[in-house]
Amino acid sequence: MTKEHGTLHVVATPIGNLGDVSQRMRETLAAADVIACEDTRHTRKLLSHMNIRAKLVSCRRENEQEQAATLVARLLAGEDVAFVSDAGTPGLSDPGAAVVRAARAAGLSVLPVAGPSALATALSVAGLDSTSFYFGGFPAAKPSTRRKQFAALKLLPCPLVFYEAPHRIEAALEDCLEVFGDRPAQVFRELTKLHEEHLSGLLSELLAALRGRAKGEMVLIVTGCEPATGEKEKPDNLDELILWHREQGSSLKDAARQIAADLDLPKSQVYQQALKLWSA
């Protein structure tokens, strides 16, 4: 790539509190030849707060694929492009990924300007013991599809994290309650804003607390599946894993495939060892 090509800057913006504007964010947006954004009206208010005048182009989910080609052409022509979503970090349940892929495919430089994220913000105050979690973004709007999504996650042992809109949070909590059972959960509402609220309790309690009063974007964290009482912990060595899978009712073939993936071993090696132990 030659120097005459521009750089795509993927810029995180405040999720509510404008005090989270960073110096690097300000400098990057001020220096950009063009700023691609979800809603030009929303971004213009942010730029006005920072006393920045800039050329804006709309790049929302509905036109992102089309705009990606236009933005790449600008980058190839030497313009620096900043990409922002309405709030938080682009590409996390927001537009941005298609533009990044197109820029990378063209051999262009793509740089992140780190900053606010509702996901990281909620996790930082959730007090989770787990070092892992599942992020599901926004669940499907269609109830039947949403319940299928939740059903596929029912047995995951890690916390389940979702974004949800105020007009769908009650339905989402009802589906969580139906699919997961009455698990402990947390809801973070209006993070970093004036009316920020953190709620915790059983799913049924959160549903009752939010019914008829849900406002603002939310982050929902549902506790992962607890192991059944008396269930043996999954071992981490080959022979014990083979016997563990046998006790779980797995077929020899399925057990060999899963163990090979878990331990990063050749499937043939695992299968041969399993043959020796399976009928013992």
User: Same domain, yes or no, for 111 and 131?
Assistant: no
Predicted local distance difference test score (pLDDT) of residue 253 = 82
As a whole number of angstroms, the distance between CA 152 and CA 252 comes to 24
In a domain, 212, yes or no: yes
CB neighbour burial string for 15-25, b if at least 16 within 10 angstroms, e if fewer: bbeeeebbeeb
Structural domain ending residue among the three candidates 116, 133, 149: 116
Torsion, CA 52, CA 35, CA 80, CA 120, rounded to 10? 100
In a domain, 61, yes or no: yes
Question: Quick one: which of 77, 70, 67 has its CA closest to 5?
Answer: 77
Summarize pLDDT for 44-72 with one digit per residue, the tens.
Answer: 999 999 999 999 999 988 888 889 999 99
As a whole number of angstroms, the distance between CA 165 and CA 189 comes to 10
- For residue 133, the one-letter residue type is F
User: Same domain, yes or no, for 108 and 145?
Assistant: no
User: Same domain, yes or no, for 101 and 132?
Assistant: no
Record the tokens describing residue 99, joined without a space.
């533009």
Structural domain ending residue among the three candidates 116, 150, 183: 116
As a whole number of angstroms, the distance between CA 267 and CA 280 comes to 20
Q: Whole domain around residue 258: which residue ranges?
A: 238-278
Summarize pLDDT for 164-217 with one digit per residue, the tens.
Answer: 999 999 999 999 999 999 999 999 999 999 999 999 999 999 999 999 888 888
In a domain, 230, yes or no: no
Predicted local distance difference test score (pLDDT) of residue 2 = 46
Q: At what angle do helices 203-210 and 169-180 cross, to 10 degrees?
A: 160
In a domain, 274, yes or no: yes
User: Same domain, yes or no, for 101 and 175?
Assistant: no
User: Same domain, yes or no, for 202 and 248?
Assistant: no
Q: Which long-range contacts (CB under 8 A, 24 or more apart) does 41-44 make?
A: 42/86, 43/13, 43/84, 43/86
In a domain, 232, yes or no: no
User: Same domain, yes or no, for 101 and 197?
Assistant: no
In a domain, 2, yes or no: no
Q: Which residue did the predictor score with more confidence, 81 or 265? A: 81
Reported pTM: 0.77
Helix (H), strand (E) at residue 124: helix 118-124
User: Same domain, yes or no, for 112 and 124?
Assistant: no
In a domain, 229, yes or no: no
Where residue 184 sits, what CATH number does that domain have? 3.30.950.10
User: Same domain, yes or no, for 106 and 175?
Assistant: no
Note whether 55 and 2 are within 8 A (CB). no
Distances (CA, A) of 196 to 15, 17, 56, 75: 11, 10, 30, 39
Where residue 40 sits, what CATH number does that domain have? 3.40.1010.10
Burial class, 138, CB count within 10 angstroms (exposed 0-12 / middle 13-18 / buried 19+): middle
User: Same domain, yes or no, for 27 and 83?
Assistant: yes
Distance from the first to the final alpha carbon of the chain: 62
Question: Parallel, antiparallel, or unpaired for β 218-222 and 184-189?
Answer: antiparallel
Summarize pLDDT for 91-124 with one digit per residue, the tens.
Answer: 988 889 999 999 999 999 999 999 999 999 999 9
Predicted local distance difference test score (pLDDT) of residue 229 = 55
User: Same domain, yes or no, for 149 and 173?
Assistant: yes
As a whole number of angstroms, the distance between CA 114 and CA 260 comes to 37
Structural domain ending residue among the three candidates 174, 192, 222: 222
Count of the separate structural domains present in the chain: 3
User: Same domain, yes or no, for 112 and 123?
Assistant: no
CB neighbour burial string for 181-211, b if at least 16 within 10 angstroms, e if fewer: eebebbbbbbbbeeeeeeeeeebbebbeebe
In a domain, 228, yes or no: no
User: Same domain, yes or no, for 133 and 218?
Assistant: yes
- For residue 268, the one-letter residue type is S
CB neighbour burial string for 45-77, b if at least 16 within 10 angstroms, e if fewer: ebbeeeebebebeebbeeebeebbebbbebbbe
